[in-house]
């Protein structure tokens, strides 16, 4: 093994080691804790970038470890894993900064930051997993590490939410477990991307493969919040804002969506999945979830819940995109993985700022807050416009590729779904924006946080503004060589050139 | 290794703890603990050397007094025995360290605390004897040694609930060993021998061996607490003191499980039918579902953990239907290794996890003062190390990766699918789900904030650390299965045959 | 078919075993349960002794006798332990059965 082969493990360790060390620190050693967290996050980002250039040069990064019998732990970095790993590495750095500001002075921060880093470890592991077993290991690891964060506040509501969260995710996990073992029995230990083993079985075991596909979808669908398995997500919003922002907008839900991508492309392969008539039902289910999530979002008065239903809806863009064959539509789906993450994390940061600065949680309470929190609401507006799909923002790019790709694939119905969903997005975001900027304040604000020059402490403001600006930048510069779009296009092309 | 002859190791595994037990019994209280720990350390060394010897030089046979079978009594140490001996050694040592701290905090009303050591060391010698004996009647004797010392340990606190549960346990143990001995008598009537290898060669199916095996099996099932014969377990295990509960739940029930396994694959392989395997599996499935469901319904923490044992024992018995297809003239089947390691891994992982869990609950009870589930609030903040130990043990019990329990459930599920016996899959899945139910029932409570300021009693550090070490152990054995599998491979009953037609059993 | 004497003993042992087993589970009083468990042991020992005589043309097999001797020692100590336990329970709680304590 040369150094390159250890790099995947090191990338995973950059968040695991700080996470574990934090548990050994004292609650009051804030300085050391912060230093550990930020060092880990920065190193992770740098490593991921270094690996990105390495992969472009054609180097391979593969870490193998035999657990025993034929259980193999495999980390492998391909372009798709880089897409997800980069996203989670960068957003972890930003969110760490935010969380330091957000939780300042609150109890049990040691526990919070420890588990937070471990969650990031799990999502990085999911990104780098090179076979279904490794994927499953990190998938369950993520479930466990998130639980303490959901119940962090220890209130009755948080504990209740924790229970719902667990029933859904442990249930999904066990179903996925059955699916993974089943897959293993059929094909033996197979790396992601090697679809031939299953293709060879297709002729004789058609029914079995169809059932297996849906078992795996059911297992992954819980985290990907596919209807009807999405129920945990809005409930889990009781967690502190950084958790909702990074985990429930990005890491956890993306783990599910990412798994669906792996399932369709790297386990079954589009061709086989199409032959077995698996894709259209999945696309329809995803389309239904898109509309359902948006409709439910309309009626939520709690800002975070509204954002949660919006997540349910937006996530299924990814599932819908991979369930339709074609390079363009796949590019759209993959790039949405990144774009949606940037926009949604911005929205959650802003929601956290509003709650933390003015003590407001409900949409109906937001009248006139644009005057008090101009930068926060500016970021919010930018991200919301992106979600709706206004050019040249990030959301527009994804929707454009999805729509064009759908038409290319001869499935124009998805354009209708996209348009309907955009209209619904507008319907639930615009009232918030309108109220914030154009109505006058109608209530006393309980000012909880102040800063000397800014509307709120810089640790809370900077992450929100930075991610908002990034979501604008990736849209404007989508055509350049280093954009997420370009990376997504490369991944999509690699799939379709493989056959 | 020239210092000690490998063939001399097996008897030392029995003699060292027995001598230690005698010395501990004679010495006054404070010394008892010191000598006890020293003996434990020596036994661990002997176990380590034995394991190493098996890995390096293969199975060891020791003829007691130089008498060969069928006349003499043999001790036989193979990979399977070494795995169980090593498990008992590691867990026993850690529980012993915990026990020393525990009894230092406990008031000693009846002057019985010091009895922990002689009783436990006798139990340990009995367990090692059980794993090593290659003689049906000698096995009866060690079962009785194990049974009597286990009951005596269970009633050490002298409190009425423990005494009542202890008497029930004792009666169950007597019935169990008598049924076993009845079977031994029938076998002797049939073949006139007691040595396992000799008996295995002489048996050729027929009614009498089946009846005999049925009796032995029934007796051992009572002692292993396989449902519906688990009636004595929850009360006995939950009423005992924490270190004792850990030993009983994590180790003692494994002794008779080991014996069933040994008889099943090494002695009676000719008499076993597919239906018998399915029957044991079905009982296991009932145990998994019923035990785990009962665990969820309990309101006292120790009862939750005790009922959990009933459920987890059920998982171990899923091994039998999966290895039994081989005797239908198949000889060797590719999933046998998976089923075999899965079942044994379940026993190992449960040993570590359950010991950790009982020790952690013991810390809770000591700190809080009772074991009502509702009192266990805010312990994530107050006893983070112990709660973490409990969580790790829970992860292994549920079978979440990466942990020993995960490897076990992975193998069992894999064997279930590849053998076509897919009907065990829902049992495994549902069992894991129910297990998650009671594990998180405890953890959820630990996250809840305390309404008033809790006054916790201080807990010795050693107790918290040993619980954590066992919890970490239950995870670690899942990260590195290779060595255990290598050990299990030494004279494993299923070896890949050179020619496919040949039988796989030795 | 002639019935050999040892077979009569063996069948008796089987019947005794079943009766004793019923006794252990069905009797309520601790003392009766313990006596039943003792009879259970006696049934097994009877079988062993009858097994020793199965070649009664030739000689009595010593191995079962050795087993019975060992078995009796174990059974006596188990019974003593059970009796001591039952007495202690009666002294501490005044109870002589498990009723209502399942």
Distances, alpha carbon B335 to alpha carbons B115, B299, B412, B501, in Å: 46, 40, 9, 16
CB contact (8 A) between residue B401 and residue A141: yes
Closest by CA position to A178, among listed A209, A219, A120, A127: A219
> Is residue B71 situated within a structural domain?
no
Q: Are the CB atoms for B240 and B215 separated by under 8 Å?
A: no
**Chain A residue numbers touching B447 (CB-CB < 8 A):** 148, 151, 154, 158-159, 162
Identify the closest residue of chain B to A161 by CA–CA distance.
B444
* Prior bond of B70 cis (ω within 30°): yes
Q: Which of B174, B189, B194 sits opposite C78 (nearest CB)?
A: B174
CB contact (8 A) between residue B170 and residue C85: yes
Identify the closest residue of chain C to B194 by CA–CA distance.
C63
Tens of pLDDT along chain A (499 residues) come to 677 788 888 888 888 888 888 888 787 788 888 888 888 888 888 888 888 888 888 788 888 888 776 788 888 888 888 888 888 888 888 888 888 888 877 778 888 888 888 888 888 899 888 888 899 989 988 888 888 888 887 788 888 888 888 889 888 988 999 999 888 888 877 788 777 777 777 777 888 888 888 999 999 988 888 888 888 888 888 788 888 888 777 888 888 989 998 888 888 888 888 888 888 888 889 999 999 988 898 888 888 888 889 888 888 888 888 888 888 888 888 888 888 888 888 988 888 888 888 878 888 887 888 788 888 888 888 888 888 888 888 888 888 888 888 888 888 888 888 889 989 988 888 888 888 888 887 777 777 777 767 777 788 888 888 888 888 888 888 788 778 888 888 888 888 886 5
The answer to whether residue B178 neighbours chain C at the CB level (below 8 Å) is yes
Distance from CA of B138 to the nearest CA of C (A): 9
Q: Are the CB atoms for A214 and A173 separated by under 8 Å?
A: no
Distance from CA of C47 to the nearest CA of B (A): 7
CB contact (8 A) between residue A185 and residue B429: no
Structure tokens at A281: 């039902």
Q: Which of C10, C37, C89 sits opposite B175 (nearest CB)?
A: C37
Residues 100-129 of chain A with CB under 8 A from chain B are: 107-108, 111
CB contact (8 A) between residue C78 and residue B144: yes
CB contact (8 A) between residue A170 and residue B436: yes
Q: Which of B163, B184, B231 sits opposite C85 (nearest CB)?
A: B163
**Contact present, C and B (at least 3 Cβ pairs less than 8 Å):** yes
CB contact (8 A) between residue B410 and residue A111: no
Among B115, B133, B164, most C C-beta atoms within 10 A, so best to mutate, is B164
End-to-end, the C-alpha distance of chain B in Å comes to 28
Buried b (16+ CB within 10 A) or exposed e, C62-92: ebbeebbeebeebbeebbebbeebbebbeee
The predicted pLDDT at position A57 comes to: 81
Residues 181-200 of chain A with CB under 8 A from chain B are: 181-182, 184-185
The answer to whether residue B27 neighbours chain C at the CB level (below 8 Å) is no
CA–CA separation, C82 vs A426, rounded Å? 79
**Chain C residue numbers touching B147 (CB-CB < 8 A):** 78
CB contact (8 A) between residue A71 and residue B381: no
CB contact (8 A) between residue C89 and residue B168: no
Average pLDDT of the residues in C68-77: 93
**Contact present, A and B (at least 3 Cβ pairs less than 8 Å):** yes
Query: Which structural domain, as residue segments, surrounds residue B466?
Result: 295-494
Domains along chain C with CATH numbers: 5-93 (1.10.287.3510)
What are the backbone dihedrals phi and psi of residue A442, each rounded to the nearest 5 degrees, phi first? -120, 15
**Chain A residue numbers touching B436 (CB-CB < 8 A):** 166, 170
Among C51, C52, C62, C68, most B C-beta atoms within 10 A, so best to mutate, is C51
Identify the closest residue of chain A to B342 by CA–CA distance.
A69
Report domain extents, chain A: 1-277, 280-499
The predicted pLDDT at position A493 comes to: 85
The answer to whether residue A137 neighbours chain B at the CB level (below 8 Å) is yes
Angle among Cα A357, A362, A368 to the nearest 5 degrees reads 65
Structure tokens at B242: 């924490």
**Chain C residue numbers touching B175 (CB-CB < 8 A):** 21, 24, 37, 40
Q: Are the CB atoms for A262 and A192 separated by under 8 Å?
A: yes
CB contact (8 A) between residue A151 and residue B447: yes
The secondary structure of residue A403, as a DSSP letter, is H
The answer to whether residue A144 neighbours chain B at the CB level (below 8 Å) is yes
> Is residue B338 situated within a structural domain?
yes
CA–CA separation, A190 vs A414, rounded Å? 33
Q: Which of B141, B178, B194 sits opposite C44 (nearest CB)?
A: B178
Q: Regarding beta strands A71-76 and A62-68, do their DSSP bridges make them parallel or antiparallel, or are they unpaired?
A: antiparallel
Among A64, A69, A169, A215, most B C-beta atoms within 10 A, so best to mutate, is A69
Identify the closest residue of chain B to C71 by CA–CA distance.
B141
**Chain B residue numbers touching C67 (CB-CB < 8 A):** 137, 184-185, 188
CB contact (8 A) between residue B163 and residue C89: yes
The secondary structure of residue B373, as a DSSP letter, is G
Q: Which of B384, B410, B432 sits opposite A71 (nearest CB)?
A: B410
Q: Regarding beta strands B60-63 and B74-77, do their DSSP bridges make them parallel or antiparallel, or are they unpaired?
A: antiparallel
The answer to whether residue C51 neighbours chain B at the CB level (below 8 Å) is yes
**Chain C residue numbers touching B186 (CB-CB < 8 A):** 47
The answer to whether residue A20 neighbours chain B at the CB level (below 8 Å) is no
- Chains near A with 3+ CB pairs less than 8 A apart are B
Q: Are the CB atoms for A355 and A241 separated by under 8 Å?
A: yes
Distance from CA of C2 to the nearest CA of B (A): 18
How many domains does chain B fold into?
A: 1
HSE-up (13 A, CA, CB side) for residue A434: 7
Tens of pLDDT along chain B (506 residues) come to 445 677 778 889 999 999 999 999 888 777 888 899 999 999 999 999 999 888 888 888 888 877 777 777 888 888 899 999 999 999 999 999 999 889 888 776 666 778 899 999 999 999 999 999 989 999 999 999 999 999 999 999 888 889 999 999 999 999 999 999 999 999 998 888 888 888 888 887 788 888 999 999 999 999 999 888 888 999 999 999 999 999 999 999 999 999 999 999 888 877 788 888 899 999 999 999 999 999 999 989 999 999 999 999 999 999 999 888 755 544 567 788 888 888 999 999 999 999 999 999 999 998 888 888 888 887 887 888 899 999 999 999 998 888 899 989 998 998 898 888 889 999 999 999 999 999 988 888 888 877 777 788 888 889 999 999 999 999 998 887 777 888 887 776 665 544 433 333 43
Interface contacts A/B by beta carbons within 8 Å: 91
The helix (run of H) or strand (run of E) holding residue B342 is helix B336-368
Interface contacts B/C by beta carbons within 8 Å: 87
Average pLDDT of the residues in C72-96: 92
Sequence-distant (6+) residues with CB within 8 A of B441 are B296, B304, B373
The predicted pLDDT at position B506 comes to: 36
Q: Which of A68, A159, A185 sits opposite B414 (nearest CB)?
A: A185
- Whole-complex ipTM: 0.94
Buried b (16+ CB within 10 A) or exposed e, B106-135: eeeeeeebbbbbbbbbbbbbbbbbbbbbbb
Residues 186-205 of chain B with CB under 8 A from chain C are: 186, 188-189, 192, 194
Query: Dmax of chain C from CA atoms?
Result: 58
SS3 call for A71: strand
Identify the closest residue of chain A to B345 by CA–CA distance.
A68
> Is residue B327 situated within a structural domain?
yes
> Is residue B316 situated within a structural domain?
yes
Distance from CA of B438 to the nearest CA of C (A): 22
Q: Torsion over CA of C91, C94, C97 and C99, rounded to 10 degrees?
A: -140
The answer to whether residue A151 neighbours chain B at the CB level (below 8 Å) is yes
Q: Are the CB atoms for A347 and A455 separated by under 8 Å?
A: no
Q: Which of B166, B175, B189 sits opposite C21 (nearest CB)?
A: B175
Burial class of residue B374 (count of CB atoms within 10 Å of its CB; 0-12, 13-18, 19+):
exposed
A206-215, A414-423, C20-29, C92-101: lowest mean pLDDT where? Answer: C92-101
CA–CA separation, B34 vs B16, rounded Å? 15
């Amino acid at each position: 093994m040369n150094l390159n082969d250890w790099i995947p493990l090191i990338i995973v360790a950059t968040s695991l080691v700080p996470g574990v060390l934090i548990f050994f620190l004292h609650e009051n050693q804030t300085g050391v804790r912060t230093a550990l967290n930020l060092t880990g996050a920065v190193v992770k980002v740098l490593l991921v970038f270094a690996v990105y250039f390495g992969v472009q040069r054609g180097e391979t990064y593969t870490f193998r470890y035999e657990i025993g019998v034929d259980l193999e732990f495999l980390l492998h970095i391909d372009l798709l894993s880089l897409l997800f790993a980069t996203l989670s590495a960068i957003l972890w750095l930003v969110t760490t900064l935010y969380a330091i500001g957000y939780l300042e002075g609150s109890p049990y921060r040691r526990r919070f930051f420890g588990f937070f880093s471990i969650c990031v470890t799990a999502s990085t592991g999911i990104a780098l997993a090179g076979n279904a077993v490794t994927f499953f290991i990190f998938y369950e690891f993520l479930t466990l590490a998130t639980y303490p964060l959901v119940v962090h506040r220890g209130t009755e509501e948080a504990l209740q939410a924790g229970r719902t969260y667990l029933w859904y995710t442990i249930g999904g996990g066990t179903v996925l477990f059955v699916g993974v073992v089943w897959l293993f029995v059929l094909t033996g230990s197979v790396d992601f991307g090697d679809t031939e083993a299953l293709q060879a079985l297709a002729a004789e075991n058609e029914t079995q493969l169809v059932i297996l596909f849906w078992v795996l979808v059911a297992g992954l669908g819980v985290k990907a919040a596919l209807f009807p398995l999405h129920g945990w997500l809005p409930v889990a919003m009781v967690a502190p804002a950084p958790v909702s922002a990074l985990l429930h907008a990005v890491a956890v839900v993306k783990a599910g969506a990412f798994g669906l991508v792996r399932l369709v492309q790297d386990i079954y392969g589009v061709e086989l999945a199409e032959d077995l008539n698996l894709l259209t039902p999945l696309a329809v289910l995803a389309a239904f979830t898109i509309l359902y999530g948006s409709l439910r979002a309309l009626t939520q008065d709690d800002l975070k819940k509204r954002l949660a239903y919006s997540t349910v809806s937006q996530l299924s863009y990814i599932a819908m995109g991979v369930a339709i064959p074609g390079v363009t539509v796949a590019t759209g789906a993959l790039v949405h993985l990144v774009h949606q993450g940037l926009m949604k994390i911005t929205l959650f940061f802003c929601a956290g700022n509003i709650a933390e600065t003015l003590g407001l949680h409900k949409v109906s309470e937001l009248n006139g807050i644009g005057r008090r929190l101009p930068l926060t609401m500016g970021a919010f507006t930018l991200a919301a416009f992106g979600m709706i799909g206004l050019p040249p923002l990030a959301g527009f790019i994804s929707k454009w590729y999805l729509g064009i790709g759908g038409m290319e694939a001869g499935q124009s119905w998805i354009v209708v779904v996209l348009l309907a969903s955009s209209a619904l997005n507008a319907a639930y975001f615009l009232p918030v924006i309108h109220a914030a900027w154009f109505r006058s304040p109608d209530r006393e604000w309980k000012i909880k946080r102040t800063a000397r020059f800014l509307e709120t402490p810089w640790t809370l403001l900077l992450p929100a503004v930075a991610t908002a600006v990034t979501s604008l930048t990736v849209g404007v510069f989508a055509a350049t060589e280093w954009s997420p779009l370009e990376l997504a296009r490369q991944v999509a092309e690699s799939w379709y050139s493989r056959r | 290794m020239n210092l000690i002859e490998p063939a001399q190791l097996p008897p030392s595994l029995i003699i060292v703890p027995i001598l230690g037990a005698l010395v501990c019994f004679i010495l006054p209280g404070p010394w008892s603990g010191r000598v006890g720990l020293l003996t434990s350390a020596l036994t661990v060394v002997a176990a380590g050397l034995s394991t190493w010897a098996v890995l390096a030089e293969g199975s060891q046979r020791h003829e007691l007094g130089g008498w060969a079978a069928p006349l003499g009594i043999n001790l036989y140490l193979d990979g399977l025995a070494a795995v169980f001996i090593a498990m008992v050694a590691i867990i026993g040592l850690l529980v012993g360290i915990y026990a020393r701290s525990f009894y230092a905090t406990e008031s000693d009303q009846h002057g019985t605390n010091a009895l922990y050591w002689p009783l436990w060391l006798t139990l340990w010698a009995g367990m090692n004897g059980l794993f090593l004996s290659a003689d049906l009647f000698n096995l009866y004797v060690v079962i009785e040694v194990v049974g009597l010392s286990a009951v005596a340990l269970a009633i050490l606190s002298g409190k009425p609930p423990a005494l009542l549960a202890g008497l029930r346990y004792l009666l169950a143990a007597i019935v169990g060993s008598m049924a076993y001995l009845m079977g031994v008598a029938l076998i002797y009537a049939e073949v006139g021998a007691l040595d396992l290898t000799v008996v295995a060669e002489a048996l050729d199916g027929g009614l009498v061996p089946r009846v005999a095996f049925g009796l032995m099996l029934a007796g051992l099932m009572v002692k292993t607490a396989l449902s519906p014969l688990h009636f004595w377990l929850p009360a006995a295990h939950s009423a005992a003191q924490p270190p004792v509960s850990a030993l009983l739940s994590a180790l003692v029930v494994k002794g008779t499980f080991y014996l069933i396994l040994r008889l099943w694959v090494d002695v009676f392989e000719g008499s076993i039918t597919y239906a018998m395997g399915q029957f044991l599996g079905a009982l296991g499935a009932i145990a998994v579902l019923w035990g785990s469901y009962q665990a969820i319904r309990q309101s006292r923490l120790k009862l939750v953990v005790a009922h959990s044992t009933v459920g987890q024992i059920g998982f171990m018995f899923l091994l039998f239907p999966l290895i039994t297809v081989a005797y239908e003239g198949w000889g060797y089947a590719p999933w046998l290794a998976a089923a075999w390691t899965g079942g044994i891994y379940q026993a190992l992982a449960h040993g570590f996890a359950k010991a950790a869990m009982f020790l952690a609950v013991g810390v809770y009870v000591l700190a809080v003062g009772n074991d009502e589930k509702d009192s266990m609030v805010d312990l994530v903040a107050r006893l983070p190390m112990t709660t973490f130990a409990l969580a790790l043990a829970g992860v292994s019990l549920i079978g979440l990766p990466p942990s020993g329990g995960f490897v076990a459930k992975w193998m069992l599920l894999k064997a279930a699918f590849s053998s076509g016996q897919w009907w065990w899959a829902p049992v495994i899945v549902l069992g894991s789900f129910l297990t998650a139910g009671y594990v998180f029932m405890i953890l959820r409570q630990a996250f809840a904030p305390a309404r008033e300021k809790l006054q916790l009693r201080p807990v010795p550090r050693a107790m918290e650390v040993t619980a954590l070490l066992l919890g970490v152990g239950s995870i670690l054995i899942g990260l590195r299965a290779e060595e255990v599998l290598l050990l299990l491979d030494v004279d494993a009953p299923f070896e890949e045959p050179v020619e496919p037609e040949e039988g796989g059993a030795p | 078919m002639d019935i050999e004497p040892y077979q009569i003993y063996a069948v008796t042992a089987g019947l005794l075993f079943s009766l004793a087993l019923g006794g252990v589970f069905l009797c309520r009083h601790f003392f009766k349960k313990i006596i039943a468990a003792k009879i259970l042991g006696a049934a097994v020992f009877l079988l062993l002794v009858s097994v020793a005589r199965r070649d009664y043309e030739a000689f009595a097999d010593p191995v079962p006798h050795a087993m019975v001797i060992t078995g009796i020692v174990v059974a006596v100590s188990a019974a003593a332990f059970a009796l001591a336990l039952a007495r202690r329970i009666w002294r501490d709680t005044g109870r002589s059965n498990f009723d209502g304590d399942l």
